[in-house]
Amino acid sequence: MATKTPITVAYGDGIGPEIMEATLNVLEAANAQLDIEVIEIGEKVYLSGNSAGIAHESWESLLKTKVFLKAPITTPQGGGYKSLNVTTRKTLGLYANIRPCLSYHPFIKTKHPVMDLVIVRENEEDLYAGIEHRQTKDVYQCLKLISRPGSEKIIRYAFEYAVTNNRRKVTCLIKDNIMKLTDGIFHKVFHEIGEDYPDIEKVSMIVDIGAARLATTPEDFDVIVMENLYGDILSDVAAQMTGSVGLAGSANIGEQCAMFEAIHGSAPQIAGKYIANPSGLIKASVLMLNHIGQFEVATKIENALLKLIEDGIHTPDIFNEEVSRLKVGTRQFTEELIDRLGEKPGSLRAVNYTHVPKKLAKVNYIQRETIDEKKELAGVDIFLDWNSGTANDLGNELKKLNTAKLSLLMISNRGVKVYPDGLPQTFCTDHWRCRFKKVNDVSISNSDIIELLSNVNNAGLEFIKTEHLYDFNGEPGYSLAQGE
């Protein structure tokens, strides 16, 4: 008897318990060797007063088994509840989210018969850091954080995934025409790391045209690497294009732990009806079996699922009069799948897993040598909550507060320069960025910024935040205002 691999399981909310029951029945019938610990997460835990949605003891199980099969959960709206999915991914260091999307033409109706791509989504950074502030009556802010090590990890992972899985091309989608620093570093790292993979075709595109092409010619894509937000949105789009969001599973991989889940949510509208498609979670369990080395069971389950799809036995989300034969609920779908364990599809390509996860599970992350950069303070952006006149009024007031070393260069409102030489047509809110730069070549320190802030404070102006302006080897580490 093979030794059992300990895993942690959560049934989740909404359709979660229905599709988890289906998945565990399939795993058992396929003779997966698993030692299952069940934890409670999600809505009930949130509503019991735990704002993280997960109890302390549950972390112990996760840190012990290091493998988590998770059904979707519902994050209650409002009330300051943090997304448990984001918390789990970040706490366990699950930096890579792998989302394969494949069409099953002609057995599942789709406008895209040739589609076989894998989205590799960065899982820890970007706007999902969830650092948000309301700074004035009118203006709310969310910080987008992209790091060089975070970008290196996910981009190397994407290339390693391509090599290990015989994929030919990696496409990077970014928006660095606008976000020159954050998306700019992601793009730069893509070029740097891509050089280590001469046999893989490398393409980068602005995310808007990339998304448009994905939606019209998905056959041109293979592996796609993206930051967190673009990856989240476009993986739902890609899954839905294959026929249903209910078809896609995903792996969240870190250096020590891994979590496997369907890409969709808890679908509260259909919860309790036993009509949900369990394929996404079943496919996530196949990714998990590969991760823990149970290749034979993984192969058996996926081939039975392919055969079932071919036989036209479909849940309502993928049922179509033209191609389907029998409309079934979750339980019958599961029974029919179990009946097919050991069978292979006739037309769809059967799988035969033997080795996939070695590199999939762990990519040794080697930070590129960072050049010894010279970081020099060049000025400060002072953000004001101010509502007492025009941009020119504010500029004239601030000029009087210049110090010997720092002088007002410009003011912008929501990123557009409004002083000096602003246009009266520009709409202004109560949130002003006032850029002070050092005068000539003097060197400045935090004390000079404190002196300036003290002038601003003494003038009765309300500063709500400051951002230091640094040059790195003489290159500005900050963006210019639109029109600056």
| Contacts with ligand NAD, residue ranges (CB under 6 A) | 15, 72-75, 85, 245-246, 261, 264-270, 276-277, 280, 317
Of residues 42 and 379, the one with the C-beta less far from ligand NAD? 42
Cα distance between residue 170 and residue 119, in whole Å: 10
Count CB atoms within 10 A of the CB of residue 61: 19
Least Å from the CB of residue 428 to ligand NAD: 35
86 exposed, middle or buried (CB, 10 Å; 0-12, 13-18, 19+)? Answer: middle
Residue among 283, 277, 276 nearest 261 (CA): 283
Of residues 130 and 268, the one with the C-beta less far from ligand NAD? 268
The owner of tokens 């003038």 is 459
Least Å from the CB of residue 19 to ligand NAD: 6
Of residues 162 and 270, the one with the C-beta less far from ligand NAD? 270
Least Å from the CB of residue 293 to ligand NAD: 25
How far apart are the two ends of the chain, measured CA to CA in Å? 71
Of residues 269 and 364, the one with the C-beta less far from ligand NAD? 269
The owner of tokens 């989608």 is 173
Residue among 321, 323, 304, 328 nearest 312 (CA): 323
Specify the pairing of strand 475-476 against strand 375-385: unpaired
Cα distance between residue 395 and residue 397, in whole Å: 5
Least Å from the CB of residue 93 to ligand NAD: 18
Least Å from the CB of residue 314 to ligand NAD: 11
The owner of tokens 């839905």 is 240
Q: Within its chain, how far is the Cα of 239 from the centroid?
A: 15
Of residues 73 and 101, the one with the C-beta less far from ligand NAD? 73
Of residues 24 and 384, the one with the C-beta less far from ligand NAD? 24
Of residues 221 and 274, the one with the C-beta less far from ligand NAD? 274
Of residues 327 and 414, the one with the C-beta less far from ligand NAD? 327
Least Å from the CB of residue 315 to ligand NAD: 6
Least Å from the CB of residue 246 to ligand NAD: 3
Cα distance between residue 53 and residue 40, in whole Å: 9
3-state SS assignment for residue 183:
helix
Cα distance between residue 335 and residue 426, in whole Å: 63
Residue among 95, 72, 76, 96 nearest 85 (CA): 72
Q: What are the tokens at 385?
A: 């909550």
Of residues 42 and 150, the one with the C-beta less far from ligand NAD? 42
Taking CB atoms, the residue at the shortest distance from ligand NAD is 265
Least Å from the CB of residue 337 to ligand NAD: 14
Least Å from the CB of residue 78 to ligand NAD: 12
Q: If you write DSSP's letter for every residue of 145-173 in order, what string do you get?
A: B--HHHHHHHHHHHHHHHHHTT--EEEEE
Least Å from the CB of residue 75 to ligand NAD: 4
Q: What are the tokens at 332?
A: 């019958």
CA distances 263 to 45, 69, 73, 136, Å, are: 22, 12, 11, 36
Least Å from the CB of residue 92 to ligand NAD: 14
Of residues 176 and 232, the one with the C-beta less far from ligand NAD? 232
3-state SS assignment for residue 262:
strand
Specify the pairing of strand 249-253 against strand 96-102: antiparallel
Specify the pairing of strand 169-174 against strand 223-226: parallel
Of residues 193 and 245, the one with the C-beta less far from ligand NAD? 245
**Under 8 Å between Cβ of 384 and 461:** yes
Cα distance between residue 218 and residue 334, in whole Å: 30
